[in-house]
Amino acid sequence: MQALTKDKALMADIALLIVAIIWGGGFIAGKIALFTMTPFYLLSFRFLCSGLLLGIIFFKKMKTIDRKSVISGIILGLSLYIGQTLQTIGLKYTTAGKQAFLLASYTIIVPFISWIIVKKKPDIYSFFAGLLTLIGIGLLSLQGGLSISYGDSLSLMFAVVFAFQIVLIGIYVKNINPIHLTTVQLLIAGTLTLISALIFEPSIKSVTTDAVLSIGYLVIFNTTIAFLVQNIAQKYTSDTHASIIISLESVFGFLLSIVLMKEVVTLRMIVGCILIFTAVIVSKTKNRIFNFKHLFKKIHSPSINE
pLDDT tens for each residue of the chain, 306 residues long: 555 577 788 888 889 999 999 988 887 888 888 888 899 999 999 999 999 999 998 999 898 999 999 999 999 999 999 999 998 888 778 766 667 767 777 877 888 888 888 787 877 887 888 888 888 877 766 666 655 678 888 888 998 898 899 889 888 988 899 899 999 999 999 999 999 999 999 988 888 898 899 999 999 999 889 988 988 888 888 777 788 888 788 778 777 777 776 766 778 878 887 887 788 777 766 655 445 444 445 444 554 444
CA distance 198 to 73: 23
Give me the pLDDT at residue 78, please. 96
Give me the pLDDT at residue 299, please. 46
Give me the pLDDT at residue 287, please. 54
CA distance 245 to 231: 14
Give me the pLDDT at residue 235, please. 82
Give me the pLDDT at residue 296, please. 45
Q: Please return the burial class of 234, using the count of CB atoms within 10 Å of its CB with bins 0-12, 13-18 and 19+.
A: buried
Give me the pLDDT at residue 303, please. 45
| Predicted TM-score (pTM) of this structure | 0.76
CA distance 92 to 154: 10
Q: Residue 81 contacts by C-beta under 8 Å, 6 or more apart in sequence?
A: 43, 188, 189, 192, 193
CA distance 191 to 55: 15
Sign of the alpha-carbon torsion through 247, 277, 146, 112: positive
200 φ/ψ angles, rounded to the nearest 5 degrees: -105, -15
